[in-house]
Amino acid sequence: MLGIVQGLTEFLPVSSTAHLILVSDLLKLDPERFGLSFDVALHLGTALAVLLYFAGTWIDLVLGLFRGRWRMPALIVLGTAPAAIAGVLFQSVIEREMRGPLVIAAGLVVGSVVFVVAEARARQRRLMNEVGIVDVLVIGIAQAIALIPGISRSGITISAGLVRELRREDATRFAFLLATPVILGAGAKTLLDARKAAELLAAPDVLAVGFVLSFLSGLAAVAFMVRFLRGHSLNWFVAYRLVLAVLIVVGVIAGIL
């Protein structure tokens, strides 16, 4: 279940972190077995999914380096930097202090407001190959903000691209390209932690099932989003996010969460 939830919500603009936390809390899962380390292991499945979906783009970027085409790879590195720096500086604090249900509900509401504002300002005049330094910094900072549960990495980065007047389809593709190194980096950071790696390897069957399902559902989700946003706006997801936020608050009041 966690693998499917991670795969679908990583690329749908509804916040994968929020859904993983909520599902884990509702099912009363053992936090030692299905905690942060397992979350990141699932991220490796979705990272493989987005890498495979955009394999042609990544191959072109790598081959372009040998032909002197450094511009787009350099912009991707620059756009990834804010989230990487924020992760190093604040990830531990966020994991410790900002995983509560009310924080998630607030993130869902704030993210929804961002979607609506971005769509209202969207002009969709520019292509991905027209992206510049200011654009990638704005999108990169947005990706860093998405460390807060409930915001949604895909949603806020696509919104930032729309504010910078990118076409919705190009904003989506660029957002997913920027997300790939961050997802891989988060997974690698955990796997390099000897203690957490030991926790993961202690249950290889559980890890394998979660990884495969997050990969398959993630591949389906990224394919859906790229196609869906060609003709639809992010506002389609706002109602779901707001209803979920209300249900979370009700759950807290009722003592369920």
For tokens 């191959």, the residue is: 59
Supply 244's token pair.
């979920």
DSSP-derived 3-state class of residue 206: helix
Residue among 63, 77, 74, 15 nearest 238 (CA)? 15
Residue among 181, 223, 151, 226 nearest 79 (CA)? 181
Question: Do the beta carbons of residue 181 and residue 87 sit within 8 Å?
Answer: no
Residue 194, pLDDT score:
44
Supply 21's token pair.
């936390």
Supply 2's token pair.
């966690």
Residue 60, pLDDT score:
94
- Domain positions in the chain: 2-254
Residue 148, pLDDT score:
94
Question: Do the beta carbons of residue 237 and residue 14 sit within 8 Å?
Answer: yes
CB environment 26-62: b (16+ within 10 A), e (fewer): eeebeeeebebbbbbbbbbbbbbbbeebbeebbeebe
The neighbour count for residue 254, using CB atoms within 10 Å, is 8
Question: Which residues sit opposite 166 in a β-bridge?
Answer: 126
Q: What is the pLDDT along the chain (257 residues), one digit of tens a residue?
A: 889 998 999 999 999 888 988 888 888 887 666 765 676 678 789 999 999 999 999 999 999 999 999 999 999 999 999 999 998 898 888 878 888 999 999 999 999 999 999 999 999 999 999 999 999 999 999 999 999 999 999 999 999 999 999 999 999 999 999 999 988 877 777 666 645 555 555 567 777 888 899 999 999 999 999 999 999 999 999 999 999 999 999 999 998 88
DSSP-derived 3-state class of residue 84: helix
For the packed helices 101-121 and 238-254, what is the interaxial angle rounded to 10 degrees? 160
Question: Do the beta carbons of residue 110 and residue 254 sit within 8 Å?
Answer: no
Judging by beta carbons within 10 Å of its beta carbon (0-12, 13-18, 19+), is residue 220 exposed, middle or buried?
middle
